Structure 1
Amino acid sequence: MNYAPDSVLRTVFIALSALACPAAVYAQTASDSAENATSIALPSVVVTADKIERPLEMVPASVAVIDGQDLEQSGITTMEQLEGRIGGLSFQPFGQAGMKAPVMRGVTAGIHSYSSSVLLLVDDVPTLMAQGFENSLLDVDRVEVLRGPQSTLYGRNAETGVVAIHSQQMEDTPRATVTTELGSRDKRDVRFALSGPLVANTLYGSVSGSIARQSGFIHNTYTGGDEDHTHHKYLNLGLRWTPTDADEVVTRYTRQDYNDGAALWGNAGQPSDRVASTTPSWNRSLGQTFSINASHLFDTGLRLRSITAYNDYQDKVLQDSDFMPVERLYIGRDNHMRTLSQELRVEGQLGRADWLVGLYGDHGNNDLRNFALRSPVFSDYGGRLKTDSVALFTHWNVPFNDDWSVSAGARIERMSAGITPTGGGHSSQDWTYVSPKLSLQYQINASNQWYISASRGVRAGGYNIFVSRLNYPSYSPEDIWSYETGLKGWALDKQLRYSLAAYVMKIDNMQVQMQPAVGVIYTASAAKATSKGVELDLDYLLGAGWQVTTGVAFNHTTYDSFQDGATNYAGNYNTFAPRLNGHVDLRYTAPQRWYAQGSVVGTSKIYLDAGNRYERNGYGLLNLVVGYPFGQWEVAAYANNTLNKKYDAEGYNAGYYTIYSPPREVGARLTWRM
């Protein structure tokens, strides 16, 4: 399914906008009428998008939310499954678990930049790079996705957005869930979550985890087996202490283990899903986090919050790269990335205004090693990359009157990076930048709002640690100025919730991942670019048990100017940036509580290189699920990629590799809940 023609894109947006705007903005009079009253309505959603609890529709930004029940019943257990399910969010095709480079609003960071354009927050613990950008989405209350620059509140790695995962609260009411799943390719998955009081009204605990195994679909014609089998383990331990009504301390430890076979790679131009590899390929990565989130509420109404987090990720990979019976070409990584971060902030109210002021700092200590065989030469290179950041930030929400309000904030951040390659030498650089944000919001009526905003997003500079022949060149911070306007709110007696946003972003010193030859990857930062687009989210209760949910995003990101060496890329599309992606879900819930859901998730084609020579075609996937709860049990059957669509990325790394797409998967789940 290819969405490339502009006429198709325009038709989709005109149709969906026609559904949203007239009903949303002008239907309030009808919804106020008693004769149109109805007994069904969408539930209210409270988010912490700007670090203060507010209703979703009151946040002057493009925000999408998925609740934990939706994740569970849809069978979403990996970050990759959020692609398209959140309009505007996608990931670079890479084919390795635990390694996810996000793409939002046409902007992304190279995997070897050890940075990210979108920040991942799991219970306030930041992940600052593609390595470890993963979560099993277990025992989750909700996932909030903020689209657009969020550097003011969240710093340099929230350049184009934030994915914030919130676990369910540990409370006095005990809860328990156990799920077993069987599926295609001998899939076996066990997931569990337990939570309850250890000391009534004072101390609470939780433990959740999963073990998942599955055989692969890439057949090795040399060994006769499959190459890409997976074996994942996940653990999340939590402890919440509330010694007084004014104090709370939440401690969490999480662990993600990978014991997989090969990445989803093959030779470009070879038969699909077939290799003839001699070199054993594997992924034995390990991610761990530890955090302490403490707060104290003073009698004056001020709240002091401290968030201490330690993130440790070991990226251990060996990957055959010629896929031939003779061992001639392979690559490997043995990276150890550690980040310690600390945030302190004070929150309060001044009249009708709420505000916060905070300090943030982090220290990154990364031991990096890449090795490769390019027969007959074996190369082994790496070094130590250290980063430091310190920032002061503030944010205010100030109502002028009942109709008009303003949100304003700024962040000043100083960041340094230093590189010490193996064998000696050292280089370092410092950067200081200010990230302001200003939003104006108007309450059209009781249920609908309009906003306009301007903000700056920044991504840190760094070093090309694996380009030794050029003396490890540095690259500058990427700078974005974003201008956005939107409508959001309720209509039809709260049977319809909508959000419509349009934006333009001007990008300077754009960091572009370049792959001019096999095994040669570096980051260039000489580009200027423009990103513009539209995002629409709708949630509509049709009545009689039917519900439609959709989220679509159109984006157009091209280089205004970009000269790298002798090649001029001006006018080309940015790498890995789809022009259109999103989803449409149709769900029926019967009075007897059984449910059925059909979901179409799609994305347009993406280019794999700055020259726009290689691409992954656009696609649309049909996912189906039906479930039946009875007592404390629920049984569900599903089919993902029901029509078995292929959407391989052919031409990764200068046309050499194909990144295979997963085939159709069918299975069944049995869940017990207390």
Structure 2
Amino acid sequence: MRGGRTWLVMLGGAAIGAPAMAQSAPAETPPPAAPAVSALDDIVVTARRRLESLQDVPASIGVLNSAGLDQRGIASLDDMAQSAAGLAIETSGGIGTVFIRGVGGGGRNIGFGTRAGIYVDGVYVGQFASINQSTSDIDRVEILRGPQGTLFGRNSVAGAINVVTRQPGYTLAAAATLEGGDHGDRKARASVNLPIADQQLALRLSGALARRHGFTTNVLNGQDLDNIDRKSARGQLRWDAAPALTITLAGDYNEDNGRRLIGEDETNLTGTGPSALPGRFDVAFSTTPVWESKFYGASGTIEYRLPGGATLTAISALRKLDWARANDLDYSPLDLLSTDYNDKFRQFSQEVRLASGGDGPVSYVAGLYYLNDRARTDRAVLFGSQIGALPFGLQPGRSVTVDAAVTTRSFAAFGNADVRLANGLTLNLGLRFTDESVRLAHYDLDGSAAPALNIATVAGLTDKVSTSRLDPTVALTYAVAADVNLYVKYSRGFKSGGFNIDFLNSSQVQDGIRFAAETANNYEAGIKSELFDRRARVNLSVYRTDFQNYQINQFVDLGNGQTVVQLRNAATVHIRGAELEALAEPVAGLTLGANLAYVDATFKSFPNGGGPGVDLDGARLPQAPRFTGAFFGGFRATLSDGGVSLTGFAEYSQRGRSFSGAENLARQALDRRHLLNLRLGIEGPGAHWAIEGWVENALNDKYTVNRDRDFFGTLFRNWGAPRTIGATLRLAF
């Protein structure tokens, strides 16, 4: 690993903060800045399932480490998208969805998976609620852009987010952070590292609390909505049983309780007139929104270092998610309609892999993977006491219900190898074989209480979707200079097929609720460079990705004048773009950087996407602005011989105009965003204490993150957070 200072921070291929190391115990306090400019620290990642320098990986990868998270005040994963190139985490229907390179979606029901995988310490935790988890005690977050089918497998056609936590070490250390701000913002987190037996047994514990009042007021009762109420805990026990054997047991728990909105109404119930509350952050709901998720699990990791230098790793993991949500469906003071959703996920995974060591002409990783995922949903649309006011013949106290279960079993064998062909020239080859079955154990839909709405009644429907496929990766890297690498790459991935388990009408059920897997082929070229004696880092990638059998809602002509909207393999998608990430330290104590992304994501073919006979060929994908960018800078200046320092950080991010729907209608237009975040603080000697003041959205930009139409035609939107101000105290021992 190349040398350099250790306090600079890294983001997206260029770093901001402490070095990103894996399988080690980072110190709780970073060392003080050196008095003169020196090389940027090397960034080590595990994006290819083995430790290697970021600059040597032929792929577009963004990295945000623990210091970068702290520097930006990022408390959960869904807060980090503002800073990373090509990443967006947007709210749709109250659910946070990951978009990478303009592609995201999925997660609305248990039969429709997401397009971006989320992994924590090598364990797949892909359910939508995992994006709300705390960043407490996280060492780094790696953002892998583009299809990751070879090493990460299913449901990573857009990319993957690889979270690496801090590992237990053999130095006694503790840290705590307290935060307070307006809107009732209160956050606290703490961690402790406990060596139990010298160089043999160590324990690391951490926890976090986050609370904030909501920005939206329910004028009927004065209650604030869209609040934050989160708590989390993490524990890891590391046992170095022998010089070559390490066993780590880990457990985590995340709880998220709040009153999360689907949106604020812009029109009346039927979408034919303006809302009675046209103002921002005001609603009149007869049903209080509820969001309750419990996301937890445990894992065991065994690492055995073979005599030749290779490492054998086995990871066994159990994950669980219990999620409940309730919302007002009529957006009015009347007690008409509300939803009550309850989903449960149970997951077991096992991975065994062998990774080479040393600097030989061939380096490799190979492994086997097994996943068993069981999901259950129980959802209802409830008819309120005043439902008779609607002309549909609905009766108070009745409901329309969905009860379904889906089981996914996936087996995979994978391998990836770098072969040094000549001095500076390396060939990378990878292949993954996947055999997967997604089984609809049962689907029960009872629409008998709403005959006028034509909701189907289905009992005990079963089905199965099976997929067997090979997903390759081929890349060539050429070192044109000691710190300049060029690469070209081809990769492929797939998103699982599944079932449209929703509130469907009879025609939708008759047409069939099954859809097949979608595939993505990615072509990419890039340059990774470090300049001026490694005082600057510039990484650039350009790419094209083609999606086939894209899963999306489409208008389907059933004949005899019947047309339905059906989730199916309806489109082909063409994406091209570029990412630029740069970091430099022009003078000692000053860092400047930028993370920029351009994305042209369009439907190459989407027949009947906008209605019968209305093709959406050439329309832009939802939530895919052409330009996003972040410009940031940080400084540290010593104020006294005692080591007290003045610190500061500023980040300006911009997100271009986009649309919330595939039709690209004016009512789906999402505002441009211009967000400025500022921090200024004082840090004590050895970074044992620090206090800083901050302001987020300093320009108080008013922007919309989502707009859509609901059940009866109500148009609604979600507003972005207003300006917030606060202070943070950090302690480390």
Q: TM-score if structure 1 supplies the norm length?
A: 0.91
Following superposition, the deviation at residue 114 of structure 1 comes to 4.1
**In structure 2, do the counterparts of structure 1 residues 513 and 647 end up closer, same or farther at CA, with 3 Å as the change threshold?**
farther
Q: How far apart, in 1, do the equivalents of 2:615 and 2:374 lie? A: 36
Counterpart of 1:478 in structure 2 is 518
Counterpart of 1:603 in structure 2 is 655
Among 321, 324, 338, the alignment partner of 2:329 is 321
The answer to which of 132-141 and 402-411 deviates more is 132-141
**In structure 2, do the counterparts of structure 1 residues 176 and 196 end up closer, same or farther at CA, with 3 Å as the change threshold?**
same
- 1:625 matches 2:679: yes
Q: Secondary structure at the match of 2:130?
A: coil
> Is there any run of 5+ residues in structure 1 with no aligned partner, and where?
1-37
Counterpart of 1:415 in structure 2 is 436
Q: How far apart, in 2, do the equivalents of 1:543 and 1:349 lie? A: 37
* CA displacement 1:277-309 (0-9 Å, x = unmatched): 111221121111211111111223332111111
Q: Which amino acid aligns with 2:298?
A: F
- 1:489 matches 2:529: yes
Aligned partners of 2:92 and 2:706 also within 8 Å = no
Following superposition, the deviation at residue 515 of structure 1 comes to 11
Q: How far apart, in 2, do the equivalents of 1:522 and 1:382 lie? A: 19
Aligned partners of 1:382 and 1:465 also within 8 Å = no
- 1:401 matches 2:445: no
**In structure 2, do the counterparts of structure 1 residues 522 and 492 end up closer, same or farther at CA, with 3 Å as the change threshold?**
farther
Q: Secondary structure at the match of 1:625?
A: strand
Q: How far apart, in 1, do the equivalents of 2:85 and 2:140 lie? A: 16
Aligned partners of 1:93 and 1:649 also within 8 Å = yes
Q: Which amino acid aligns with 1:662?
A: A
Following superposition, the deviation at residue 255 of structure 1 comes to 0.8
* CA displacement 1:602-634 (0-9 Å, x = unmatched): 211221111111121121100001121124211
Aligned partners of 1:152 and 1:435 also within 8 Å = yes
Among 517, 541, 556, the alignment partner of 1:501 is 541
Counterpart of 1:88 in structure 2 is 86
Following superposition, the deviation at residue 229 of structure 1 comes to 2.5
* CA displacement 1:152-211 (0-9 Å, x = unmatched): 001012222121111122111122111111111111111111112111111111111111
Q: Secondary structure at the match of 1:572?
A: coil
Following superposition, the deviation at residue 385 of structure 1 comes to 0.9
Counterpart of 2:33 in structure 1 is none
Q: Secondary structure at the match of 1:133?
A: helix
Q: Secondary structure at the match of 2:141?
A: strand
Q: How far apart, in 2, do the equivalents of 1:105 and 1:652 lie? A: 22
Among 313, 319, 334, the alignment partner of 2:342 is 334
Following superposition, the deviation at residue 493 of structure 1 comes to 1.1
Q: How far apart, in 2, do the equivalents of 1:50 and 1:554 lie? A: 25
Superposed, 1:338-487 pairs within 5 Å as: 338-348=346-356, 351-373=360-382, 375=387, 376=394, 378-419=399-440, 420-422=442-444, 423-469=459-505, 470-471=508-509, 473-487=513-527
Aligned partners of 2:377 and 2:403 also within 8 Å = yes
Q: How far apart, in 2, do the equivalents of 1:522 and 1:582 lie? A: 35
Following superposition, the deviation at residue 649 of structure 1 comes to 3.8
Aligned partners of 2:200 and 2:241 also within 8 Å = yes
Q: Which amino acid aligns with 2:655?
A: T
Q: How far apart, in 1, do the equivalents of 2:709 and 2:432 lie? A: 37
Q: Which amino acid aligns with 1:382?
A: D
Q: Which amino acid aligns with 2:246?
A: E
Aligned partners of 2:595 and 2:631 also within 8 Å = yes
Q: How far apart, in 2, do the equivalents of 1:242 and 1:515 lie? A: 59
Superposed, 1:184-583 pairs within 5 Å as: 184-263=182-261, 265-269=263-267, 270-348=278-356, 351-373=360-382, 375=387, 376=394, 378-419=399-440, 420-422=442-444, 423-469=459-505, 470-471=508-509, 473-512=513-552, 523-564=567-608, 566=612, 567-583=614-630
Aligned partners of 1:109 and 1:511 also within 8 Å = no
* CA displacement 1:439-471 (0-9 Å, x = unmatched): 000000111010000111211111001154322
**In structure 2, do the counterparts of structure 1 residues 95 and 86 end up closer, same or farther at CA, with 3 Å as the change threshold?**
farther
Q: Which amino acid aligns with 2:216?
A: I
Counterpart of 1:7 in structure 2 is none
- 1:615 matches 2:669: yes
Q: How far apart, in 1, do the equivalents of 2:66 and 2:536 lie? A: 20
Aligned partners of 2:231 and 2:255 also within 8 Å = yes
Q: How far apart, in 1, do the equivalents of 2:264 and 2:338 lie? A: 12
Q: How far apart, in 1, do the equivalents of 2:548 and 2:517 lie? A: 9
Q: Secondary structure at the match of 2:242?
A: coil
Aligned partners of 1:615 and 1:649 also within 8 Å = no
Q: How far apart, in 2, do the equivalents of 1:77 and 1:556 lie? A: 31
Q: Secondary structure at the match of 2:39?
A: coil
Aligned partners of 2:136 and 2:206 also within 8 Å = yes
Among 97, 101, 105, the alignment partner of 2:101 is 105
Q: How far apart, in 2, do the equivalents of 1:330 and 1:300 lie? A: 62
Q: How far apart, in 1, do the equivalents of 2:262 and 2:71 lie? A: 27
> Is there any run of 5+ residues in structure 2 with no aligned partner, and where?
1-35, 268-277, 388-393, 445-458, 557-563, 640-644
Identity %: 25
Following superposition, the deviation at residue 489 of structure 1 comes to 1.7
Q: Secondary structure at the match of 1:563?
A: coil
* CA displacement 1:513-554 (0-9 Å, x = unmatched): 5799xxx99633210110000000001112142211211110
Superposed, 1:128-167 pairs within 5 Å as: 128-167=126-165
**In structure 2, do the counterparts of structure 1 residues 406 and 159 end up closer, same or farther at CA, with 3 Å as the change threshold?**
same
Q: Secondary structure at the match of 2:586?
A: strand
Q: How far apart, in 2, do the equivalents of 1:332 and 1:399 lie? A: 57
Aligned partners of 1:109 and 1:512 also within 8 Å = no
The answer to which of 179-188 and 522-531 deviates more is 522-531
Q: How far apart, in 2, do the equivalents of 1:605 and 1:247 lie? A: 52
**In structure 2, do the counterparts of structure 1 residues 255 and 229 end up closer, same or farther at CA, with 3 Å as the change threshold?**
same
Following superposition, the deviation at residue 478 of structure 1 comes to 1.1
Q: How far apart, in 1, do the equivalents of 2:426 and 2:588 lie? A: 38
Q: How far apart, in 2, do the equivalents of 1:357 and 1:327 lie? A: 58
**In structure 2, do the counterparts of structure 1 residues 258 and 521 end up closer, same or farther at CA, with 3 Å as the change threshold?**
farther
Following superposition, the deviation at residue 218 of structure 1 comes to 0.6
**In structure 2, do the counterparts of structure 1 residues 156 and 251 end up closer, same or farther at CA, with 3 Å as the change threshold?**
same
Q: Secondary structure at the match of 2:321?
A: strand
- 1:639 matches 2:691: no
Counterpart of 1:25 in structure 2 is none
Q: How far apart, in 2, do the equivalents of 1:275 and 1:310 lie? A: 40
Aligned partners of 1:127 and 1:133 also within 8 Å = no
Superposed, 1:583-594 pairs within 5 Å as: 583-592=630-639, 593-594=645-646
Aligned partners of 1:138 and 1:208 also within 8 Å = yes
Moved over 6 A (4+): none
Q: How far apart, in 1, do the equivalents of 2:165 and 2:669 lie? A: 37
Q: How far apart, in 2, do the equivalents of 1:409 and 1:650 lie? A: 38
Aligned partners of 1:280 and 1:319 also within 8 Å = yes
Counterpart of 1:671 in structure 2 is 730
Q: Which amino acid aligns with 2:100?
A: M
Aligned partners of 1:268 and 1:651 also within 8 Å = no
Q: Which amino acid aligns with 1:327?
A: D
Q: TM-score if structure 2 supplies the norm length?
A: 0.83
* CA displacement 1:468-493 (0-9 Å, x = unmatched): 43225111211111100001120011
* CA displacement 1:247-280 (0-9 Å, x = unmatched): 1111111111122123262102432111111112
